[in-house]
Structures are given as structure tokens and as C-alpha cells.
Amino acid sequence: MPITFVPETQTFYLDTDNTSAIFRVYDQGYILTEYWGKRIHHADLTRLQKVYASGFSPNYPGAVDRSWSLDLIPTEYPVYGGGDYRSPAVQVQFPDGSRLLDLKYHSHRVLEGKPELPGLPHLDGADCTLELTLCDDYSGLEVVLSYSLFEKIDIIARSARICNKTGAPLKVTRALSASIDLPRADFDMMGLYGAHIRERQLDRTPLRHGIQSVESRRGASSHQHNPFAALVSRETTEFSGDAYGAALIYSGNFVISAEVDSFDTTRFQLGINPFDFSWKLEDGEEFVTPEAVMTYTDQGLNRMSQNFHNAFRHHLGHTRIRNKVRPIVINNWEATYFDFDEEKLFDIIDCCKGLGIDTFVLDDGWFGKRYNDVCSLGDWVVNKDKLPHGLDPIIERCEQNGMSFGLWFEPEMVSEDSDLYRAHPEWAIHKEGRPFCTGRCQLVLDLANPEVLEYLKKALSDVLANHRISYVKWDMNRHITDAYSSALPADRQPEIYHRYMLNLYALLDYLNKRFPDVAFEGCSGGGGRFDAGMLYYMPQTWTSDDSDAIERLKIQYGTSFAYPPQCMTAHISASPNHQMGRVTPYDTRARVAMSASFGYELNPLHLTDEEREEIKNQTARYKKIAPLVTEGDFYRLISPFDRNCCAWMFVSPDKRRAVAVYVQKLGVPAWPRNLVYLAGLNPDARYRIEEMDGEFYGDELMHAGIALPWMGDFQSASFTLEQID
């Protein structure tokens, strides 16, 4: 059993194949963190816990001597009120106004597998789970900490359940999912920041004393920061060194922070953002935090990412398609924007015949009076001026041409100019009587209101149940402002963001279950909600509204730190590119897009015969390599954040097949020798490379490298490897 409790020393050992987490019930029942890192024996680490008194670190009641202070003890789930001045994991307010807590060991149990997290997306298929119950004896409040182990992939999933057994209501003002104290501070913190059309750029900065954090206050995980961060040693590279990674399975306001104290210990925490949050918990009720996915490796960043990839590919979400090859899609957004009608769509669809594309997705503009982005969101009925015979003829046309049909929605939004808003202005998030913000001329529907949830279930089901729709693109084009719900009483207003998220998850869960054959694709102005919460219900996300292949190098490379490539939708778009005006060769656009869930974002009517042939080759090649992209181990080889080029590769789990891609950004004059070193191969196996003559040993390709030809701006190369015999 990977979870062991040694009663003599009151120590818990949580072991995965390559890591150990160790903590112990300490004086009076406080939980003391002893270790998290590379797997070690079940040693008695009590000797390491010698702490010396420090001035201004207070002693808790009944402490053995003046050195015993919660301000100095590394702990699993710190609280406010016991003398620990660092950031707590949990804070509550009792009816008398008191905010003091003192959580101590109460009991524990070890379960086979892993219980569901009610109403929240979560990993499944864990080997076992430790539930550790802590209690505040004074009030009766309990907190159950849950640790689920995925042995083979070195993942621990953590969450907390706050149980009000106090006999009176209380307010939860902070409820993080996980907190860990590490006995060192010589880390770099890595995170993914960005903006619309420039998502998930890599940030790596040394920790300093104090708190540093990434967070969202926007009601969505956001383009600006992603709910993923890592603490890595200064010398950590892609292939070696310590990396502690954490990702939150949540799509709303989050925080991930690292707090370095005066004694050079680091408190690493993540969970729902306490900013503008509180939750009223009646007596007998529980509050469950979202799940945090934690991993450690001493094998560098690629291994850290592969651990996340394995968790999200094999243990997250919709079981039917989560590990399946996704359809090749053509989406009409950049081909037509809002300017289409039945005839134009017929022409586009007919033109796709024989290209090897699986699904045609009709984007924004098919409903209400939607000729531009200022109206009609919320009115999910077909625009009869554009499509006089409804969606059915479009669907039939797709099927006649060998494709299935997909449809765009933006369910969480309402336009001021819409029948829905005219009928229900109170369903939009805002405070009546106060001027409110708009974004893209639209408001956010108040999903904290159960009536809105029911409306959306019906409106979407009506469309999905009455048409043969195999694919849904679910968009979300602004963030929450004016956070006020007309459905919530005054003392529950700070619950709006989390209630919104819970009902959004309930809606997605309902639709997933009612329409199990529909493949859902997430989107939020591109990749504004690229998080593990959304991936649970919608296993791929439109990675960015920037479809330029060269910009996508950074965006997709950055995204891969936490999320598997198959979860990223990447389409070949027209050249010059609509966002950047950049002219990029077709094969480079193809190589970048094919390293993800692949498709097209262009007008097939504008293709030359030669380009049509090229597309046929691309779709045939993608069908060949898609299993590798879906199931293979992904390796980052050269970072576009560091260099003027970029390279990556996929290796099949048995190491017999691999595909590597190299892309030159700007060409460099007088650059006679350029090598790329592969990774993840069997060193002793011989490989044939489709694009080169000869046979090569795995170790040769990994350590001596492949010499690349000189390449001009935006040129690229790929290498398709197959083991011989």
C-alpha cells in the first residue's frame, strides 16, 4: 500500500513510484510536514525537526518550551489564530465575530481508489486516498484533508472539506485546496502569464522574501494567469533538476502563491482566490475545495509536464473521448466571420469534399439577428434570414460530403440587444440602478441563479436534441465585472463567483451526460479558460485566437508545461495571417497545428489546386501521427522563449515511433552548423527516419544530434522515426 501510517512515531508515508511525502502528528496533535521530494526510505525524520526559539514567534498554548511555535513549524494545512503569521490555508468567522482556529489531529482513514468530489471536476482512478480529519476542539469545526495517490505517475491530488459541526452558521473566508511548507527558498517560480491572443507565456523568476503569486480575479481562470505554477531549483533544466508542480482543477478565481519567510522556508499554496470570497456554511453543511494536482520530480521540467499530461490524459473527465484521437475540424470563423448565408456555407462545405476533414464547425453568427458582435447572445434560435431552412440542410450537406457537423455557442453570455435580456435583465450580472461595464457589448449571465441554469439547460438541449450535432465549440468572450447577483441575499453576495462556477460545471455535466456523443471544445476568446476544470468537461480548448504559427510556438510551448498537446486545438489558418499579417509556409503552419488537435481555419474556396493536394497530404499524415500526438510522451527540446527557433517531439510509449519538429523563427545568416538533439528514444535501438537516408541509434540521435539544413524565416523540418525490426 503506498500509504502507510506508523503508530509508534505517528507518521504518515505517502509513496509514489519516485516520490515520498511524509508528515507526522506532532505535539498535541498538530500536523508537522517532514518531507516532500524524491522517494526515500521510511526513515524516522524527527531528528531533523529541531527548531530553535526565535524572537517574536509566539508559543502556542501548552507548548513544551519557548522553541515550540506554529510560526516555525512546517505544517500541512495552516490556520489563522495560533501564532503562525504566514498565510493560512483556511480562515473562518464564527457568529460572535471570532476568527480563531486551532486544527489538530482527530482521526484518519485510508480508502481504496478515490471518492468523487461532489459538483467539482476531479481526477479519477487513484490507487488510494488518505483522509485526514483535523478538528478545532473549541468550536467543533472539522477539516478533512484528502490525499489521493497516483503511484505510477507521481501525482498527489489534494483537496479539503470544511465541515461545520459547530451548532451555528459560520462564514468561510479562505479555503485553499493545498498548502505545503518546503524547507528551502532557493527556487525559481515558474508560471504562465499572457493576454488575449498571447496566452501562456513562460515566466521564471527567482523567489524573494515575501509573498509572490499568480491569480485571477476575473471570474474565469483567464488569459492573464493560468492556474498552474512550479517551484524549481535554480539549475533545473528540461531534463534535470528539482521541480515541484501544482495545478488547480478549477476555472474561476484562483490563487497560487509562494511565501518565503525570514528563515528561508517556502510556503506553496493554491486554491480558490480569497479575494472577494466568503461562503456562509450552515450548521451541518460542508464546503469542498477544488482539487489541486501536485507533482515532484528530480528529472526536470519535461518529466514534471509529462506527469501532468498523464494525469490529465488518463484520469480527467469525460471517459469516452478523453484519450481518443480527435476529429480533424474545419471552422468557418476566419473564413467568413459573420458574413455567411446558406449558399455560402454550401459552397464551403462542398469544397471540403475529399480533403480528409472529419467535421465542419459553424461558428458565431447562426442565431438571433447576429450580423455582428453587438447583439443576440442568449437567443439560441436559428437566424432565418441567413439560414432560411434552418440548420438541417447544412448538416445534410456536411454528411453528403463525408463530414459531421459542429456548432458554436456562447451560452454564458447575453447581449443587451437580445430578446433574453429584454425579458430577463435581472439574469445578467450587474447591480440594478448602477451603471455597469460591458465587454464586446455583452454581459455575463448570472449562473449563480438556478433559474439561469435551468434556462440554459433547456435552450442548449433544444438545439442539440433536434439536430445531428457531433461537436460543440463553447465560447466565452468577456470576464465578470459588477459582481452582484439578484438571486442571492446580501450576506451571500461574496459567493457569486464560486456559485457561478458550480452551476457552470452542473450545466456542462448535464450536457455531457445527456449528449454523450457530442465532443465539446472549450474556448474563451481563444485560450482564456485553458484549465483542468474545463478540460474535465471539454477535453480540448481553442488554444488562442492568434492562429499565426510563429506566435503559436510560444503559446503552445507554454501551454505544454501543464497541459497535454492533444488538449490544444490548433488550426492551419490563411497566410498572410489575420492577426499578425505574417506570411508563413504551408508546411510550417501544418507542423505546428499537427502537434495538437488539428484542423483548419481558412476558406477552402480560396485554395489553389496545389494547396488542395497539400491539404489531402496533411490530413493523411495527421491521421498517421495522431495516435502519437494523443498517446505519446511529449518532449520540449528547444524553447522559443530562449532562442530564435523551437523544437519538440512526441515519442510512443514503447519508444518505437517518434515525430520531431524544428521551426526556425527568423533565419540567421552565416550559421553553418545547427544541431537538434532528440530525446526519449531507446538508446540501443536503431531507427529509420522517413525524411533522411540511413539508420541511426537512439543514443546517436539524442547525444550527437541531427544536423539541420540552413533555414530562412519561418521554415521548418520534421523527422518521423520508426524503430527497425
23 or 408: CB nearest ligand DGJ: 408
Under rule CB under 6 A, which residues in 476-495 are in contact with ligand DGJ? 477
The span from the CA of 203 to the CA of 214, in Å, is 11
Q: Which of 308, 297, 155 is nearest to 240 (CA)?
A: 297
CB of 581 to ligand DGJ, least distance (A): 18
CB of 600 to ligand DGJ, least distance (A): 13
Strands 568-573 and 471-474: unpaired
> Per-residue string for binding with ligand DGJ, 630-669, x by CB under 6 A?
----------------------------------------
Q: Which residue out of 446, 475, 546, 548 is catalytically annotated?
A: 475
The span from the CA of 140 to the CA of 280, in Å, is 16
Angle between helices 342-351 and 392-400 (to 10 degrees): 20
The span from the CA of 556 to the CA of 661, in Å, is 13
CB of 521 to ligand DGJ, least distance (A): 10
Under rule CB under 6 A, which residues in 440-479 are in contact with ligand DGJ? 475, 477
35 or 542: CB nearest ligand DGJ: 542
CB of 526 to ligand DGJ, least distance (A): 5
CB of 338 to ligand DGJ, least distance (A): 8
For residue 201, give the 3-state DSSP assignment.
strand
198 or 655: CB nearest ligand DGJ: 198
CB of 527 to ligand DGJ, least distance (A): 8
- What DSSP string runs through 50-89? -----TT-PPPTT-SSTT--TTTS-BSS-BSSSS--S--S
The span from the CA of 131 to the CA of 134, in Å, is 10
CB of 328 to ligand DGJ, least distance (A): 17
The stretches of 407-521 forming alpha helices (DSSP H) are 419-423, 450-465, 496-514
Cell match 494536482: residue? 293
Please enumerate in sequence order all residues whose Cβ is within 8 A of that of 41, keeping only pairs 6 or more positions apart, or say none: none
CB of 680 to ligand DGJ, least distance (A): 33
Is the Cβ–Cβ distance between 404 and 470 less than 8 Å?
Answer: yes
Q: Which of 30, 70, 35 is nearest to 51 (CA)?
A: 70
Judging by beta carbons within 10 Å of its beta carbon (0-12, 13-18, 19+), is residue 288 exposed, middle or buried? buried
**Which of these segments, 513-521, 522-530, 575-583, 657-665, binds ligand DGJ (CB under 6 A)?**
522-530
Which three cell numbers mark 459?
Answer: 435552450
Is the Cβ–Cβ distance between 634 and 564 less than 8 Å?
Answer: yes
Q: Which residue out of 84, 545, 546, 633 is catalytically annotated?
A: 545
Number of Cβ atoms within 10 Å of the Cβ of 642: 9
Number of Cβ atoms within 10 Å of the Cβ of 290: 29
**Which of these segments, 131-139, 206-214, 313-321, 520-528, binds ligand DGJ (CB under 6 A)?**
520-528
Judging by beta carbons within 10 Å of its beta carbon (0-12, 13-18, 19+), is residue 51 exposed, middle or buried? middle
- Residue 256 to residues 259, 270, 363, Cα–Cα distance (Å): 10, 4, 34
**Count of positions on this chain that bind ligand DGJ (CB under 6 A):** 11
Please enumerate in sequence order all residues whose Cβ is within 8 A of that of 345, keeping only pairs 6 or more positions apart, or say none: 332, 362, 387, 394, 397
17 or 339: CB nearest ligand DGJ: 339
102 or 546: CB nearest ligand DGJ: 546
Under rule CB under 6 A, which residues in 21-60 are in contact with ligand DGJ? none
Under rule CB under 6 A, which residues in 531-570 are in contact with ligand DGJ? 542, 545
The span from the CA of 489 to the CA of 448, in Å, is 12
Cell match 477552402: residue? 604
172 or 220: CB nearest ligand DGJ: 220
**Which of these segments, 92-100, 214-222, 523-531, 625-633, binds ligand DGJ (CB under 6 A)?**
523-531
154 is catalytic: no
Under rule CB under 6 A, which residues in 400-439 are in contact with ligand DGJ? 408
- What DSSP string runs through 396-440? HHHHHTT-EEEEEE-TTEEESBSHHHHH-GGGBSS-TTS----BT
76 or 364: CB nearest ligand DGJ: 364
The DSSP letter of residue 701 is I
CB of 536 to ligand DGJ, least distance (A): 20
CB of 578 to ligand DGJ, least distance (A): 11
Strands 540-542 and 519-522: parallel
Q: Which residue is nearest to ligand DGJ (CB)?
A: 364
Judging by beta carbons within 10 Å of its beta carbon (0-12, 13-18, 19+), is residue 52 exposed, middle or buried? exposed
CB of 295 to ligand DGJ, least distance (A): 30
18 or 477: CB nearest ligand DGJ: 477
392 is catalytic: no
291 or 601: CB nearest ligand DGJ: 601
**Which of these segments, 83-91, 350-358, 503-511, 521-529, binds ligand DGJ (CB under 6 A)?**
521-529
The DSSP letter of residue 29 is G
Which three cell numbers mark 522?
Answer: 472549450
Query: Does position 523 bind ligand DGJ by CB under 6 A?
Result: yes
- How open is the CA angle 573-575-579, to the nearest 5 degrees? 70
**Which of these segments, 230-238, 423-431, 519-527, 591-599, binds ligand DGJ (CB under 6 A)?**
519-527
287 or 408: CB nearest ligand DGJ: 408
Under rule CB under 6 A, which residues in 320-379 are in contact with ligand DGJ? 333, 363-364
181 or 199: CB nearest ligand DGJ: 199
Number of Cβ atoms within 10 Å of the Cβ of 707: 11
User: Could you give the residue numbers annotated as active site?
Assistant: 475, 545
Contacting residues toward ligand DGJ, per CB under 6 A: 333, 363-364, 408, 475, 477, 523, 525-526, 542, 545
